[in-house]
Structures are given as C-alpha cells and as structure tokens.
Amino acid sequence: MLLLLVVTIFLAYVNGANDNFKGVATLFGSRTTDYRRSLWWATITTLAGSCAAVLLSGGLVRAFSGKGLIPDALTHDPAFLLAIGLGAALTVMLATVAGFPISTTHALTGSLVGAGVVAAGSVSLSKLGQSFFIPLAVSPLISFALTSFLYPICRLARTRLGIERQMCLCVDGALPQPVLVYPNGTAVLRSTGMTLSVGQLQACTERYAGRIIGIDAQRILDRLHFLSAGAVSFARGLNDTPKIVALLIAARAFRVPLSSGLIAIGLAMAVGGLLNARRVATTMSERITPMNHGQGFTANLVTAALVTVASQWGLPVSTTHVSCGSLFGLGAVTGRGRWTTIRSIVLSWVVTLPVAACFAAVICFFLR
C-alpha cells in the first residue's frame, strides 16, 4: 500500500513534467512572455484546476477506477493498481526524457488494458472503445478542425477592425520600434532608416498595431492570451488530477478523502512541472509550428473549451491531444507546420498505449 502511494505520487510528478507547460506553450512560442513566467503561470493555474476538481470531476475518478472494464474485485486490488500506476508512470517518464508530449490519459488506458489482460484474462472491449478510445481518438480531430475554422474568422475580424501586424524591435526598457523588412532580407528601423544587425533582427517580434475602444490592441491581446493559457492549464488540472487520484481512491484500505487526494496529486504535478518541463516545452513551443500572438490565443481558446467541457461530462480526453491538435490546425492553416515533428508526435501517441500495456502487464505478472 505504501508503494502504491509512492507510485501514484511519482505518476503525478512525471505527469506535471510532461503536461504542465502545454497550456502555456503558445505564450512562450509567440514570445508573449519568457519561459520562467510561462512556467509559473502554468503551475499556479494547474494547481487551481486540481483544487477545483474536488467539486467538478467525480466522473473522471469513477471512469479511471476501471469499473466495467475489468472485474470489480480487481479494481480494489493494490497489486493491480500498482501495476497500472507504475506502467503509466514509466511510459510518461520515457516520453518526457525524449521530449515527446504524450498523454497520461492514454498511458493510464494502456496500463489498464495490459494489467487487466494479465489479471483477468481479458477486458471489456465495448467499454474500452466507448469510454476511452473514442474520446481519445476524436478529441484531437475536433480541436484541429475548430482551430482551422476559428483562426481565419479571428484574422478577418482583426483586419476589419483595422489592426495590422508589424515587425518591431523590442529592447528592454524601451518602446517597441517598428521595423521594415525588405524582400532581400534587409531590415531597417522605420523611424530612422538604420539597418539592423543580425543580433538585433533576432530580437524582433511581431506585434499588432492599432487600437480598440482607445486601448492598444497588443495589450488587449496579451491579456486575453494570458487568460486563455491560464484557462487551458486550469482545465488540465481539472481533467488530469482525478484520473491519477483514482488509483488511491480505488484502494479502499487507504480511506483517502477525495479532496485530500486531489490536492496532494495537484502539488506533485506542480513540482514535476517546475523541475522537469523544459524538453517538452521546447517541442510544444518551437518545433510544431511558428506562431504569433493571435494564433496562440486562438489555439488556447479551443483547447480550454474542449477540455473543460470534457471534464464536466466525465470524458477521459487528453489535454495533450487537444492542445497539440490545435497547434497542428494552426500549422495547416498558416502553411508553416513542421510536419516531420508532427508525424513524430503522432507516432509517439500510437505507441503510448502498447508500451504502457506491456509495462503494466509485466509488472502485474511479477506482482501476482
């Protein structure tokens, strides 16, 4: 039982390392803010979502107890639960070390299947397909489609409001200076005509010029972008925490209050994100597709809405799949998607379930 507690905390830790930055990847990728501020914003809002899960995510705790998928007697067996937790944790840890953003939900599902086959001889295929596979498979397609549909609408609204994109040289402590970029790649300051060096050009970022109801458009967008990133992280905490704490709740010998378990798992996720999120953060922010402020905001808006709705309905969707699906949609719409990286990420999703199933099956075999 003590080992089960340790494994559950370890699973929450590696979940935080792999998942915490996904909500704020667009903040860092669009250079709205730096890595450290993005990470702390993700940590705070994810922890808030974990605390809110006390009231809103009982359905996910029941879904990941394994009831209906395997015989009820197994759902309270500590050895069986230990195999599930450790199988999922090892899978997520390997992906985190490699820098691949995979789904803890997917890993837990694979572990349930692998341990279930060893312990019970089979699992309920109808329950597996209806309650697990369909939400996991459909959610990234929905986020891809919604982002591909919504971003052109947002872009059209921006142009109708007279808000233009422009390159600016941003130096700490100084106002952004508009930059003109010529077809030959030469960049000059619009105000003085001074040619920029390579180092100065690397410090240039894209900003929005114009005002809405008398307020600077870039300032409004930055605030909305932060709110949308916080909403994604909040939704992730709301969706992922109950799935992990289900391992402790199912082991009745612990008699863990749901609220205490959710908060403890939330804290472990926060620590994992703070200490080991960098590799996955680089993949999510820079290797899928270049993005500007408006594109990042659109992707976050879609992700937050889908994950929050799924949490309230008790559907085990993956924040990873949804957020990556949104970024894939951006890459498709803008024509700047890095499809080699995207294919590698999708392949890592495909192998997550069998790898987790194999880990859990071997662990369950030896424990039993």
- pLDDT tens digits, 210-264: 777 777 788 888 888 999 999 888 888 877 787 787 777 666 555 656 566 677 8
pLDDT at residue 192 is higher than 60: yes
Instruction: Please tell me which residue, 182 or 89, carries the higher pLDDT value.
Output: 89
User: Does residue 255 share a domain with residue 132?
Assistant: yes
Residue 131 DSSP one-character state:
I
Integer CA distances (angstroms), 35 to 84, 161, 199, 279, in order: 33, 31, 20, 12
Give tens-digit pLDDT for 314-332: 666 778 888 999 999 999 9
Do 169 and 302 sit in the same domain of this protein?
Answer: no
Amino acid 184: pLDDT: 66
Whether 69 and 6 share a structural domain: yes
The predicted-structure confidence for 158-176, as pLDDT tens digits, reads as follows 888 878 777 666 655 556 6
Same domain, 20 and 109: yes
pLDDT at site 342: 93
202 and 244, same structural domain? no
Q: What is the pLDDT of residue 42?
A: 92
DSSP calls for 77-107? -HHHHHHHHHHHHHHHHHHHHHT----HHHH
Specify the amino acid at residue 153: I
Task: Provide the domain limits for residue 154.
Answer: 2-158+218-367
**Token reading at 24:** 């704020």
Instruction: Say whether both 199 and 314 belong to one domain.
Output: no
Same domain as 125, residue 72 = yes
144/280 same-domain check: yes
For residues 89 and 335, the answer to whether their CB atoms sit within 8 Å is no
Same domain for 65 and 194, yes or no, is no
pLDDT of residue 257: 62
Same domain, 171 and 100: no
**What's the whole-model pTM score?**
0.80
Domain total of the chain: 2
Q: Please state the rounded mean pLDDT for residues 335-343.
A: 91
The predicted structure's pLDDT at residue 219: 84
Residue 304 predicted with pLDDT over 60: yes
Same domain? For 121 and 181 the reply is: no
Task: Tell whether 223 and 205 lie within a shared domain.
Answer: no
